[in-house]
A and B are shown apart, each in its own frame.
Chain A
């Protein structure tokens, strides 16, 4: 039970956040680091299937909150096991 005047902690560990969603991009406001550039804990700001939509939200977040840190993660299978990556050239270039 949350007591009156007790602030609810809405932050989670990054690995917990990864488990909350399925095959979505998740935008997190970073509240704690475990090292330089290594987020360990944060607050979920948005989640969506579209990487570009989350990217636009990231831009808006930083425009409104200069100095804050964000982290975007993908919660799902990154690439099938056994698939080897060799970059033979960009897919497209605009």
Chain B
């Protein structure tokens, strides 16, 4: 993991609460900015939609592998995994992040899910009352 700077000050990322209360934050990848990702502590891996994968270009089109996933209430299925060059939320960036390519409900106009493999790189707090994701860098991180 690398970060844009090495401050210990927590990064407070203001998001929006939509769709009944879930937290959506703005994410930047090399090129496209302002991608809308749902903060999903119930997703082990970060996920992007097929359209987001296409927009990000050739580096993410070719899957590294397939991962078996266990969605709630559904049978096991497999989904392609790609490696994102970087993914940045506020001032917090993770490079070489693996992400699933998953279709999300078509009426839900979000670009992906911010899963545990991103969030675990930080000490994370969610303030629902202020729609804020707080990321603190870990010691030595």
Contacts and interface: CB of A to CB of B under 8 A. Distances in A.
Given A36-B90, A93-B102, A55 B51 contact: yes
Contacts of B20: 83-86
Contact of B32 (A52, A58, A74, A90): A58
Contacts, number: 127
Contacts of B32: 58, 62, 69-72
Given A87-B105, A89-B73, 17 more contacts: A36-B28, A36-B91, A37-B28, A37-B34, A37-B89, A39-B33, A59-B58, A70-B32, A71-B33, A72-B32, A72-B111, A79-B107, A90-B79, A93-B79, A94-B50, A94-B79, A94-B80
Interface residues of B, number: 51
A29 to B, nearest CB: 11
Given A36-B90, A69-B31, A72-B32, A88 B56 contact: no
Contact of B19 (A71, A85, A90): A85
B1 interface: no
Contact of B74 (A37, A72, A88): A88
Contacts of B77: 90, 93
Interface string A27-52: 00010010011110000000000011
Interface string B28-59: 10011111001010110001001110111110
A89 B138 CA distance: 31
What class of interface size applies to chain A in its complex with B? 35 or more
Interface of A: 30, 33, 36-39, 51-52, 54-56, 58-59, 62-63, 68-74, 78-79, 83-94
Contact of A91 (B38, B80, B104): B104
Interface in B80-120: 80, 88-91, 100-109, 111, 113
